[in-house]
Structure 1
Amino acid sequence: MPTTKKITPKAPLKTSKASSASIKPAAAAGNDSLALEGKKAPNFQLADADGKSIALKDLIGKRNLVLYFYPKDMTPGCTIEACSFRDNDASIRAMGAQIVGISADSSASHVKFRDKHSLNFPLLSDPDNKVTRAYGVYKKKKLYGREFMGIERTTVVIDKSGVVRKVFPKVKVKGHTDEVIAALKSLS
């Protein structure tokens, strides 16, 4: 007779101070990032690669914001996307915007990713996926017939006043930076 193994649940993850701030998702957003267009961007406060707490209010006001959500540090698509933003950072800054990346990776992982690829913009850590849920980018995904929850590669352009002006869901990495630059030009 086969034996059954008792499975005990793991202890809940502890949240860092930086990620424990209340997040107000857009009421109509649900799990659809496109529903955010024209609405106030959900507020957040997360730790960057160096552990410094950064809030949405720190990123807007003087500049527009290119907030991009990506699945995982050091993966091929995420590396290409990050390096493309790095290489176009001067053009994006010249249009009055800044770039910030968010994934569920730890700050330590972000340090390695940033340093290995000389990334010149902040990477924020959302280990509990509170912010990715608020922005509607934490979704059910399929890969090789397997279903799992994860971050859908998405970029959100937020204006100086904190209003979401453009959402790019299901981003295809090739040519994406050009799309973002075109969206920023339309804000001028």
Structure 2
Amino acid sequence: MLEPGDPAPDVSAPNQHGESVTPDFTEPTVVFFYPEDFTSGCTVEANEFQAALAEFRELGITVYGVSMDDVDRHADFADEEGLLFDLLADPDGEVAEAFGVSTDLGYADRRTFLVADGEVRATDAPDPAGHADEVLGDARSEFAVGG
């Protein structure tokens, strides 16, 4: 798994709208990997990132959720939950592999990466509940912004 100080990988994947997305890891970015759309923990985590999305954006941080679900399932999940950030479809686990996230059980392990300036700045293996607020606090500390 990538660790703080490692270079951020170059990745691209389709989002829930079928648009190819290549995150700009020179800018502050959160990439959270989660096992599966519509499961209880993953729904809690995604909704908490959505609830904090305005605060992330105020800090100039882009948020991406990544799972091995396909574009159509991501679209349904985003619509049902009102998610306004990109969910990247990684059905073959290529994005997960680039970050060193295990897919041995047929889904991505729950891992979060804070990335900026082309490198991993922090990582976490979170519990879903309260995770978005933890990441927001970490981001404020890491980038010495906000309060």
Scaled by the length of structure 1, what TM-score is found?
0.72
Residue 48 (str. 1) matches residue 15 (str. 2): yes
Number of residue-to-residue matches in the alignment: 143
Map 1:1-188; keep pairs closer than 5 Å: 33=1, 35-56=2-23, 59-61=24-26, 63-140=27-104, 148-159=105-116, 161-169=117-125, 171-186=126-141, 187-188=143-144
In percent, how many aligned pairs have the same letter?
A: 34
Aligned-pair CA distance for 1:60 = 3.5
RMSD of aligned alpha carbons: 1.3
- Unaligned runs of at least 5 residues, structure 2: none
Higher relative contact order (CA closer than 8 Å, sequence separation 6+): 2
Deviations 1:149-173 (A, max 9, x none): 43111110001x221100012x101
Tell me, in whole angstroms, the C-alpha distance in 1 between the residues paired with 2:98 and 2:12. Answer: 12
Q: Secondary structure at the match of 1:74?
A: coil
In 2: Cα distance, 1:150 partner to 1:114 partner: 18
Per the alignment, residue 145 of structure 1 pairs with: none
TM value normalised by structure 2: 0.91
The answer for unaligned runs of 5 or more in structure 1 is 1-32, 141-147
